[in-house]
Amino acid sequence: MGSVNKVILVGNLGRDPEIRRSQGGTTIASFSLATNEAWNNREGQREERTEWHKIVVFGKLADFCGQYLSKGKQVYLEGRLQTRSWDDREGNKKYTTEIVAASIVLLGKAGSGSGESYAPPIEEPPGNHKDEMLNSGKPEDDVPF
């Protein structure tokens, strides 16, 4: 049997998407997405944790992100995990793991935080965007919160 690399997230954007172009002209969007988890601890106290995810998007779907997504918007997305590496200025090997989105749906009505979907899902055909990633610059080291 083959393998599966699929991620499904529902969360809120931590910052406006950063839009850039690869040397080949492909649009690349990147943003952070926050997902929240809540539970009761052993003492019965409510606890919450926010997990931050690095998201990268290519092509027409990246154009969509630049046009319709902004900080705080809630989205449903599907994609895959990808880890890449580079050498920093001192020659040290650095790694980052991110989610390459293949489908994004805006959640909530225009101008509100919840409700029904008001944008159709836009899907990017599966493919290897390795060249775009290598030519798009190094990822940011800071966390957007």
Residue 31's domain is classified under what CATH number? 2.40.50.140
> Residue 100 belongs to what domain range?
7-38+47-127
Residue 30 in any domain: the answer is: yes
Residue 122 in any domain: the answer is: yes
Q: What is the DSSP string of 82-143?
A: EEEEEE-TTS-EEEEEEEEEEEEEEES-TTSSSSS--S--EEPPP---HHHHHHS-PPP-S-
Counted domains in the chain: 1
* Beta carbons within 8 Å of 43's beta carbon, 6+ residues apart: none
Residue 137 in any domain: the answer is: no
pTM confidence score:
0.73
Residues 90-126: pLDDT tens digits?
999 999 999 999 999 999 755 554 443 334 455 555 5
Q: How far apart (Å, rounded) are the C-alpha atoms in residues 100 and 56?
A: 5
Residue 138 in any domain: the answer is: no
